[in-house]
Amino acid sequence: MHYDFVAIGDITIDAFIRLKDARVHCDIDDKNCQLCVRFGDKIPYESVTIVKAVGNSPNAAVSANRLGLVTGLVTNLGDDQNGADCTEVLSSEGVSTEFVRTHTGIPTNYHYVLQYEAERTILIKHEIYPYSLPSFETDPKWLYLSSLGETSLSFHEEIGAYLSSHPSVKLAFQPGTFQISLGTEKLHSIYTNTELLICNKQEAQKITSLSSDDAQELVQALHALGPKQVVLTDGVNGAYASDGSSMWYVPIYPDPAPPVSRTGAGDATASTTTTYLSLGLSLPDSLLRGAINSMSVVQHIGAQMGLLTREQIEEYLANAPENFKAQVL
């Protein structure tokens, strides 16, 4: 099978626990916010919602499939009921499970999402899997790499070597927590083979070791690592895109109602932008559509329920407010 889009990354089940009695404390500039609960108490919660087959890369694969691409997912599961449930969800979403490996004796990843109002804190644990890149019958058009466990360094090196020897394959890289902590030197072969790098402003500061809050400075520093195109998201402040010679600002698409959960907003922006680039749209036009899909996702619990089809995105775009456009900086 020829794939338009193959995502690589860990898969998990998320248990969304909506807290009832908590507080958020932030610095005076609304930065470094902390979720606080009383230590030693029994903390009441409102509800628990189980969402299966999620994670940065699975979310991206589902997103790209809903937008019309032929998609697959390279990931690892345990030989347990959670793994079987994840496989069933992927299949129902039209994502190929050809590259999904099941391992006896290793449980499927399971994360807990502490949700308070529209924000969340995620308790994560990446099980230790024997990562390896499958043999593709034909080269996929795009690879989409995101969150992997901290034992995956050699796997990244394998992916970098594959990209170097298959220059027709384009890479979208959305660094996860452990990938950022590995540092840019260890992931040199990834950054230098990246067509599109997507991260938020706080992640960019960690990746580049810059404390600057200036989007243009951060984007330039990210380009210096090797990526040809960069998307930098900044929450409710919108997002920035750069192809190395031009830079654009894209505002958020107005929320039709207060956000339910911001989990998956970045995944929707990143995967949608990548998908439309693969379809031949320009970077700013692709990011505009990413902002629309992000708006839809935050209206639901979980990262996949609100993902739109291509027709739905174009309808939102046709009815967008006049100021929803890419601005050249």
pLDDT in tens, 240-254: 999 999 999 999 998
Task: Tell me the β-bridge partners of 51.
Answer: 14
Q: pLDDT tens-digit profile of 105-115?
A: 999 999 998 88
Domains of the chain (ranges; CATH) run 5-12+55-109+133-328 (3.40.1190.20)
pLDDT band at 29 (very low <50, low <70, confident <90, very high): low
Q: pLDDT tens-digit profile of 179-188?
A: 999 999 999 9
User: What tokens were used for 188?
Assistant: 């040199």
Give the C-alpha distances (Å, rounded to integers) separating 173 from 147, 231, 249, 320: 10, 10, 20, 29
Any idea which of 46-60, 83-97, 119-133, 277-291 has the lowest mean pLDDT?
119-133
Give the C-alpha distances (Å, rounded to integers) separating 249 from 195, 211, 322: 19, 21, 15
Any idea which of 148-152, 165-169, 185-189 has the lowest mean pLDDT?
148-152
Task: Tell me the β-bridge partners of 328.
Answer: 248
16 has a pLDDT exceeding 90: no
Q: At what angle do helices 56-66 and 81-92 cross, to 10 degrees?
A: 20
| Amino acid letter for position 225 | L
The strand order across the sheet containing 196-200 reads 100-103, 71-78, 5-8, 142-145, 170-173, 196-200, 229-233, 239-242, 247-250, 327-328
Distance CA 301, CA 123 (A): 17
Average pLDDT over residues 58-82: 97
Sign of CA dihedral 320, 324, 326, 327: positive
| Amino acid letter for position 3 | Y
Distance CA 274, CA 59 (A): 13
Q: What are phi and psi of 154, to 5 degrees?
A: -65, -30
User: What tokens were used for 71?
Assistant: 């998609």
User: What tokens were used for 24?
Assistant: 């958020």
Q: pLDDT tens-digit profile of 194-243?
A: 999 999 999 999 999 999 999 999 999 999 999 999 999 999 999 999 99
Looking at residue 28, what is its pLDDT?
61
Average pLDDT over residues 129-139: 94
Distance CA 211, CA 218 (A): 9
Any idea which of 23-27, 137-141, 257-261, 310-314 has the lowest mean pLDDT?
23-27
316 has a pLDDT exceeding 70: yes
Distance CA 57, CA 176 (A): 10
- The stretches of the chain forming alpha helices (DSSP H) are 56-66, 81-92, 153-165, 177-182, 188-191, 201-208, 215-223, 265-278, 283-297, 310-318
3-state SS, 183-242, equals: CCCCCHHHHCCCCEEEEEHHHHHHHHCCCCCCHHHHHHHHHCCCCCEEEEECHHHCEEEE
pLDDT band at 2 (very low <50, low <70, confident <90, very high): very high
| Cβ–Cβ < 8 Å for 4, 277 | no
Looking at residue 27, what is its pLDDT?
67
Average pLDDT over residues 16-32: 72
- pTM for this entry: 0.90
Whole-number mean pLDDT of the chain? Answer: 92
- Closest by CA to 272, choosing from 324, 202, 198, is 198
Looking at residue 150, what is its pLDDT?
86
25 has a pLDDT exceeding 70: no
- Closest by CA to 291, choosing from 262, 270, 312, 274, is 270
